[in-house]
Amino acid sequence: MSLVLPAEHRAIMVVDIAEFTAPARTVAHQIALHQGLYQVLREAFDESAIPWASCVVEDRGDGAMILIPSDVPKIRLADQLPDRIVAAVRRYNALSSAAASVQLRIGLHAGEVHRYENGVVSQAVNFAFRILDASAAKSALKQSAGTVAVIASDRFYQEVICQDPAANAASYQRIPVNVKDVSTEAWLRLRGLSAVLPVLPDAPLDLLSKWLSDVTVPHLATMVRRAAGPFAPVPRSNNALDVFFELNDVNAGVDGVPPSLIFLSLLADQMGGEFKVNVDEWVRNEARRLRLDRRLAERVNAVSAIPAKPRLHLLIAFEPHGIDPSRYRLSFWRQDDPEVWPPVRGDAGMASVAELESCVDALVVAAEQVWSDRYATVVLEFLLPRSLVHLPVQLWRKELGSSNERPLLFDYPIVLRSLERMSSQHWHRVWHDRWRLLLADPSVTRVHFGQPADSGEPYRIDARLSDPQWVSMVLSRPPRPQPASESGTDEYRAALQSGLPAVFWHPEASPTALREVVNELADGRGLTKLPERTQAARRDAFLTSDPSSKINIYRRLVVLWDDPERRVFLDLPGTSTAAVEESADER
């Protein structure tokens, strides 16, 4: 029997070469990659003061498992080592062919490890390899220009990374992990995203500098992200020459077209006139020189024109915590380009119900800083679980605690969306069907006004709403925080399952008064402009001095307006709030 040493608590690092078995890679390439991996690791460990010779290393063919000496501070794996690995990878890639270049995924964890003569046995090591294989991490690295993806377990993130400012915990984003027997969450950070050299180093810049130096870039965030991708940071300056030089340091995508050239083409289309003639000619010459004229034309022609006053959305979701029912996880989707949905998901952390309004205030203010150069209409949407649909979000305020405090409803149409329906893919087909029916005929005759008797018998309300005549409903009473215990007697759930995209209710108005209000909202143009018409009516409610006036119903009227064409995916990773604040600061 082999001697098994007592368990040791070790920091664990597992490494994998991305796309190791890609078809373009021959056995010779794989041998070079394998050798290059250990070259990179030895260099990086030595430069980080982690003695490679003292580590326990197991080769895994396309990667490695490394046990860190117990006397090495764990934080060194998160603050120093990744930067040195990025540098070593860049040095290696600079001397390698494209097929032999390296992108690495690194998993960080810690736990009990049993060692014996044939190797290592450890549930902690198994777990580290599971988070390393997270599909969200693989996809994020593949779609980026990064060289290294660091994936930290939640335990390592909370106990090590979050405890030291040097590790920059805010730069990590939460990702789902569903690999074999493991279903959990981890934390991802992409490293080595910036280019080393400008992509147009030899371009003649004298004339271009003259044309760009006095130009202010319109729709800055949209222009930059159409040119460089949805993860591109928004430059601090909106001067066209500054933006060009900043994008000239960003790597080209898989088609080889430099983002700086795409940006110039988009800017020329926006500005028009003599500027367009001059810049278009300059871009064509550069594209021909780089033999990218056809690919550049394809990229630019695939982009639609930016509307003069685009319609943007800020969607904020509150997801119940799986263990603590008093806390909610906040996510958001801020739309910077009217043609792109869904945008990148942002992660705003956890909050109690009492903290939600201030968290929303911070997200709205940060979004407005990014949009500060935009001439746009913005719709504010709340993706809520049933337990929170009673919150008076339409009366929440921004710039809380300051002399500038004011209700959100003055500046935004505000609507609710259903978290349960968004999460239930098997409800989406009928949701799409009813949405199309609403757009085809948005008249008030398509609104079902609920009656208490509809919920008196099981499935009566389901039978009534299954008629495709109905595309909207006014509930006979506000939805309770929890579904009715008896199946087939819950109006709110029946409306969602039947696919109705528009649902109304009020916490206290009588059915007669509520019917009159909804008829007024849908009068003439029907339901299609419901969010905007509701906003106008809510503003008017602040102008009346008659407390008994029917218009006061609008203040607390709840409108669920759920467009299935703008779904979001709740299981995809998000950027951290700090990344959003950084983007806002850059503006």
Helix, strand, coil tally for the chain in percent (to 5)? 45, 20, 35
Largest CA distance in the chain: 89
For the chain, give the percent of residues with pLDDT over 90: 47
H-helix or E-strand spanning residue 93: helix 81-94
Q: Does 485 or 586 have the greater pLDDT score?
A: 485
Amino acid code (one letter) for 562? D
- Give the whole-angstrom CA distance, residue 438 versus residue 441: 5
Q: Are residues 216 and 161 in the same domain?
A: no
Count how many residues are written for the chain: 587
- Coil, strand, or helix at residue 58? strand
Sign of the Cα pseudo-torsion (65, 71, 73, 76, in order): negative
Position 573 scores a pLDDT of 44
Q: Are residues 179 and 240 in the same domain?
A: no
Structure-token match 């097929």, residue found = 99
Taking only the tens place, the pLDDT of each residue in 273-297 is: 999 999 999 999 988 888 888 888 8
Tokens read off for 202: 């030899």
Residue 283 CB partners (closer than 8 Å, separation 6+): 261, 264, 265, 268, 296
Q: Where are the beta strands (DSSP E) in 163-204?
A: 173-179, 182-191
Mean of pLDDT values over 101-130:
89
Amino acid code (one letter) for 539? R
- Give the whole-angstrom CA distance, residue 30 versus residue 17: 10
- Give the whole-angstrom CA distance, residue 399 versus residue 402: 6
Residue 586 is assigned to a structural domain of this protein: no
Position 376 scores a pLDDT of 85
Tokens read off for 560: 């669920």
Domains of the chain: total: 3
Mean of pLDDT values over 487-506:
95
Sign of the Cα pseudo-torsion (560, 563, 564, 568, in order): negative
Mean of pLDDT values over 462-471:
96
Which CATH number covers residue 78?
3.30.70.1230
Q: Are residues 40 and 135 in the same domain?
A: yes
Position 92 scores a pLDDT of 78
H-helix or E-strand spanning residue 114: strand 104-116
Per-residue pLDDT band at 547 (split at 50, 70, 90): low
Q: Are residues 316 and 413 in the same domain?
A: yes
Domain's final residue, options 306, 337, 355: 306
Q: Are residues 469 and 544 in the same domain?
A: yes
Q: Quick one: residue 192, left, alpha or beta (phi over 0 = left, psi -120 to 50 = alpha)?
A: left
pTM listed for this prediction: 0.60
List, in sequence order, every residue forming a beta bridge with 218; answer none if it has no partner: none
Q: Are residues 297 and 365 in the same domain?
A: no
Residue 249 is assigned to a structural domain of this protein: yes
Residue 32 is assigned to a structural domain of this protein: yes
Q: Which of 34-43, 259-268, 468-477, 494-503 has the lowest mean pLDDT?
A: 34-43
Taking only the tens place, the pLDDT of each residue in 373-419 is: 777 899 999 999 999 999 999 999 999 989 999 999 999 999 999 99
- Coil, strand, or helix at residue 566? helix
Please determine, for residue 572, whether its predicted confidence score (pLDDT) is greater than 50: no
Taking only the tens place, the pLDDT of each residue in 156-180 is: 999 999 988 778 888 888 888 998 8
Q: Which domain holds residue 33?
A: 8-191
Starting at the earlier edge strand, list the strands of the sheet with 575-576.
447-449, 472-474, 502-505, 558-561, 414-418, 377-384, 311-320, 327-334, 345-352, 575-576
Q: Are residues 483 and 346 in the same domain?
A: yes
Mean of pLDDT values over 411-431:
96
- Please answer whether residues 388 and 353 qualify as being in contact, where contact means their C-beta atoms are separated by less than 8 angstroms: yes
Per-residue pLDDT band at 336 (split at 50, 70, 90): confident
Residue 258 is assigned to a structural domain of this protein: yes
Neighbours of 133 (CB within 10 A): 18
CA dist 194 to 140, 197, 199, 383, 531, Å?
15, 9, 12, 34, 41
